[in-house]
């Protein structure tokens, strides 16, 4: 059965707490003290009070940060989660600068990063073709 551990970080409102209750999902709002494992396999989660809750797996939302601040220094805006703001194809507000992957996409998965890269490549190609076409001046 699922359980929610907030690690003491969120103030769940009553309606959310009730929703979990209705689904019989226990909510633990204390800070987590320790994860117990055997050979890397999770066994239990120990809370600060000493209570341990048996668990064999965990999904968590890791905190992320940008590896490169070069786009920021160039003037690309970021959203409130620290992701670069671009158009759907990765085009930024800086001419010729496209961004693809985790640094602009909230869906941190390889398939999304690859799709982002492909979309940016198509748009860059179109932009270069248009430039070349315009240069010919026909
Ligand atoms: C622990 C973990 C497990 C994951 N498991 C999965 C999974 O099971 N399935 C899945 O789909 N996704 C998974 N992901 C997410 C997936 O790895 C990312 O979504 C994907 O790698 C993003 O690709 P990217 O090209 O945007 O960024 P990255 O793969 O992070 O590539 C960015 C590259 O840029 C380089 N770089 C950064 N700054 C600079 C700089 N200033 N100059 C030069 N190079 C620089 C970095 O070294 C890196 O090589 C996982 C991620 C982590 C951390």
pLDDT of residue 73: 97
CA of 109 relative to ligand 1 center, distance in Å? 9
Query: 90 and 113 in contact (C-beta within 8 Å)?
Result: no
Distance, CA of 2 to CA of 25 (rounded, Å): 6
Region 120-125: mean pLDDT is 98
pLDDT of residue 9: 85
User: Is there a common fold for 4-54 and 70-136?
Assistant: yes
| The pLDDT of residue 138 is above 80 | no
Atom of ligand 1 nearest to the CA of 110: 11
31-57: b or e for each residue (b if 16 or more CB lie within 10 Å)?
ebeeeeeeeeeeeebebeeeeeeeeee
Residue ranges around ligand 1 (CB below 6 Å): 67-68, 101-102, 108-111, 113
What pairs with residue 53 in β-bridges? 45
Region 126-135: mean pLDDT is 93
pLDDT of residue 26: 96
Looking up tokens 């709002």 gives 29
Atom of ligand 1 nearest to the CA of 103: 26
Query: 8 and 31 in contact (C-beta within 8 Å)?
Result: yes
Query: Going by DSSP bridges, is the β-strand pair 4-5/27-28 parallel, antiparallel, or unpaired?
Result: parallel
12-44 pLDDT, tens digit each: 899 999 999 999 999 999 999 999 999 999 999
pLDDT of residue 136: 85
**Which residue has the least CA distance to atom 49 on ligand 1?**
67
**Which residue has the least CA distance to atom 20 on ligand 1?**
110
The CA distances from residue 128 to 68, 118, 122, 123, 124, in Å, are 25, 15, 10, 9, 6
59-84 pLDDT, tens digit each: 988 888 999 999 999 999 999 989 99
Smallest Cα–Cα separation from 36: which of 25, 47, 24?
Answer: 47
| The pLDDT of residue 50 is above 70 | yes
Phi then psi for residue 52, to 5 deg, are -115, 140
Q: Is 137 helix (H, G, I), strand (E, B) or coil?
A: coil
pLDDT above 70: percentage of residues in the chain: 99
Average pLDDT, the chain: 94
Domain boundaries, the chain: 4-54, 70-136
Domain 4-54 is found in CATH 3.50.50.60: yes
Rg (CA), the chain: 23
- In terms of CATH architecture, what is 70-136? 3-Layer(bba) Sandwich (3.50)
**Which residue has the least CA distance to atom 44 on ligand 1?**
68
Region 78-94: mean pLDDT is 96
Atom of ligand 1 nearest to the CA of 116: 26
User: Picking from 79-83, 92-96, 133-137, which range would have the lowest pLDDT averaged per residue?
Assistant: 133-137
DSSP state of 95: T
């Amino acid at each position: 059965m699922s359980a929610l551990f907030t690690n003491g970080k969120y103030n769940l409102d009553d309606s959310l707490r009730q929703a979990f209750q209705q689904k019989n999902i226990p909510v633990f709002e204390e800070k987590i003290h320790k994860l117990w494992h055997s050979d890397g396999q999770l066994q239990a989660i120990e809370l600060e009070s000493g209570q341990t809750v048996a668990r064999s797996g965990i999904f968590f939302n890791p905190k992320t940060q940008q590896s490169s601040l070069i786009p920021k220094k160039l003037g690309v805006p970021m959203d409130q989660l620290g992701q670069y703001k671009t158009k759907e194809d990765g085009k930024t507000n800086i001419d010729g600068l496209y961004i693809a992957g985790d640094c602009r996409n909230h869906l941190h998965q390889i398939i999304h990063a690859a799709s982002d890269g492909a979309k940016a490549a198509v748009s860059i190609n179109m932009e270069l073709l248009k430039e070349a076409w315009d240069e010919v001046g026909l």
